Structure 1
């Protein structure tokens, strides 16, 4: 669904991370968060030659599958303040995200989101690439069959 040149998304969507996982992952769309975040555990930093790398376990949610081992260059680290007001230093990665048919690179902070309902939070920096959020709806970028399956 589109409004002008902007794609409409709901407050929750199923998104892809094609460089990390072959499937769709539940995500909360959050305009209150600047930076997107991924549920990552077992985070390890290491050097591959001169390149700074990070290895982590990505839990894609639903409890149906084992966590996925991911290895990527890490782009940065910064202090992130969570919704409960606590600040922590997090590693930042850049990877592709697919929301509907739109695939683009985005930054994600790596953090343990095991207390959260969604393994991915998509923040406003990623959304500024051409999305509008309808907070009263869900799964607008999923196909009709996928949306019916999820909402049952």
Structure 2
């Protein structure tokens, strides 16, 4: 027969274990096997067919996307932002088919999800707009927040951060790149350029 003190210990154990069991059950309902990707993979912006290299960076919380001429504006009661993505800034040598892409610029207008203040070493803090965008990576569609910043001096036009990795159950192999088992449909830069011109 259990004494009062033993009953308390048993009750405490159940109180401790039940949330753990519930968490285990809920996590098993999600995608239990994480997707393994390299530290660089191909990303395709949905609605454009534009394929670009993206660095998957566990050191960054929020993803970021190359954007220039970023301008906020009001649409009704909502704050929106317009921005441009010049194709030539991160042109892949094997993807242009010899076409001059210097003048080809993708234009976007999206609602502002939030703004972030970025502290920069040796430079003033910078306010960045954050938008939600759909994209495909490793053959699967995703949605995440991107902060908009000029990444023209960086090797990759897109960076995917921890929030994307956590929400979509992604593991990163920091020793390898382009290891996705599936590809996303995309258009080469010349075709994207022609669509923009038309």
Shorter-chain TM band = 0.7 to 0.9
Asked whether the equivalents of residues 59 and 119 of structure 1 are also in contact (C-alpha less than 8 Å), the reply is no
Residue of structure 1 equivalent to 2:8: none
Please say if residues 16 and 24 of structure 1, whose CA atoms lie closer than 8 Å, have aligned partners that are also in contact: yes
Runs of at least 5 residues in structure 1 that lack an aligned partner in the other structure: 145-152
Alignment pair present for 1:27 and 2:66: no
Between the aligned partners of 1:102 and 1:85, the Cα distance in structure 2 is 39
Structure 1 Cα separation of the partners of residues 86 and 35 of structure 2? 27
What TM-score, normalized by structure 1, do the two folds share?
Answer: 0.82
Gaps of 5+ in 2: 1-31, 184-198
- 1:85 deviates by 7.2
Deviation at 1:89, TM superposition (A): 1.2
CA distance in 1 between counterparts of 2:79 and 2:144 reads 18
Any conservation in 2 of the 1:91–1:110 contact (CA below 8 Å)?
A: yes
Q: Which has the larger radius of gyration?
A: 2
Q: Are positions 1:5 and 2:33 aligned together? A: yes
| CA RMSD, 1 decimal | 2.0
* 2-structure distance, mates of 1:33, 1:85: 19
Name the structure with the higher helix share. 2
Q: Residues 9 and 59 of structure 1: is their aligned pair in 2 closer, same or farther, counting only changes over 3 Å? A: farther
C-alpha change, 1:85 and 1:98, in structure 2 (3 Å) is farther
Give distance in 2, aligned partners of 1:81 and 1:127.
Answer: 23
**4+ residue runs of structure 1 moved beyond 6 angstroms?**
none
